[in-house]
Homo-oligomer: A and B are copies of this chain.
Amino acid sequence: MRGSRDVRRPATLASLAAELGVSRTTVSNAYNRPDQLSAPLRARVLEAARRLGYPGPDPVARSLRTRRAGAVGLLLTEALSYAFRDPAATGFLEGLALACERAGSGLLLVPVSPELADVTAVHQAGVDGFVVYSVREDDPHFKAVLERPVPTVVCDQPLHVEGVDRVGIDDRAAMLDLARHLTGLGHRHIGVLCMRLGTGRYDGPADDARQNGATYPVQRNRLGGLRDGFAEAGIDWAGIPVHERFAHSVDAGQAAAAELLAAHPEITAIACTSDILALGALRHAAERGLAVPEDLTITGFDGVPEGLRSGLTTVRQPVLEKGRAAGELLLERGDRNRPRTVVLPTELIVGTTSAVPRSPERWFSGW
């Protein structure tokens, strides 16, 4: 209503002070330290501000002076919009947002192009700290973040970096449990579906070289857990087909499951490194008329709501807690000890998508 939006030359703290014949300090105090000036003068300042359309101290200038931006930056490997698409990421972000709003801090989603190595966005972000969510170890954006002189918390990143706090789960141990569950049921021919392992857009079987070169710690550890668990049951990892998908979507999981089963019809179980992929595998099974779990056992990882609703056998990880812990680690730095590491518990959820394989397979030594 008031013509405050179309002022030619925007008012500044200085112009306001000049107008009133007081010092800049006084105007500043009117906003930030009401007890430092008399009430009548403060009222005069605020009235003049309204009259001149002065919107209050400029946040950027204030940030420069106070060395506080009032925001936390979030870096994730995927495109920005991925944060709202993937349920596990969404849960993490909800927890992170919770911590942020408690601390009165904003949350800046840093725009990164997953392919492009353009780190200007990281350089451009005016933030008090970064949360890095599940990125490649050699991600250039990650590297750029570490160069910034602000505190950083990484999530799902076992690599120890000087001065960087960490939060995550024990992916390997969790997956080891799941592997034991599978071998305990008697499965011996198991296929694996995993997410992106490294740089470059690749879809298909992941051979040993590719697995060993994996730069996503989460995927590496989950595969490692499976390997260890299978080894305990005397199953050689070399005989386990692992199929990788660049995209993380139900569709990708479906396609990967089709590819895997076509190449290895003897398989009685598919272990997926994420619920999303597992949901895709379930869809493929339904499409092909395979009964789950009678004909085929399918397991996931994460414990996303949709997976749990489907009765998926999976590992539930506290994604929301992870986000909250990351935020708190970053924001509540009252106790400036040394870098800390938070490892959150996981839980094996045995649903209705895993069972003893059909008879020809029942050769396990138990009972």
Contact B111–A104 (Cβ < 8 Å): yes
**A60 contacts chain B at the CB level, 8 A cutoff:** yes
**A337 contacts chain B at the CB level, 8 A cutoff:** no
On chain A, which size bracket covers the interface? 35 or more
Copies of the polypeptide in the assembly: 2
**A5 contacts chain B at the CB level, 8 A cutoff:** yes
Instruction: Please measure, in the bound complex, the distance between the C-alpha atom of A60 and the C-alpha atom of B53, giving whole angstroms.
Output: 24
Residue in chain B with minimal CB distance to A31: B123
Contact A126–B126 (Cβ < 8 Å): yes
CB neighbours (8 Å) of A125 from chain B are: 59, 70-71, 106
Interface string of A108-136 (1 = CB under 8 A from B): 11111100000011011110000000000
Instruction: Please measure, in the bound complex, the distance between the C-alpha atom of A63 and the C-alpha atom of B120, giving whole angstroms.
Output: 13
Contact A97–B69 (Cβ < 8 Å): no
Contact A93–B84 (Cβ < 8 Å): yes
Contact among B4, B63, B90, B108 with A60 in the assembled complex (CB-CB below 8 Å) = B63
Contact B84–A113 (Cβ < 8 Å): no
Contact among B6, B85, B106, B148 with A124 in the assembled complex (CB-CB below 8 Å) = B106
Binding site for B on A (CB under 8 A): 1, 4-7, 10, 53, 55-64, 69-71, 79-81, 83-85, 90-91, 93-95, 97-98, 100-101, 104-113, 120-121, 123-126, 146-149, 162-163
The 8 closest A-B pairs by CB, nearest first: A84-B94, A81-B97, A80-B97, A101-B111, A80-B101, A107-B109, A70-B124, A60-B126
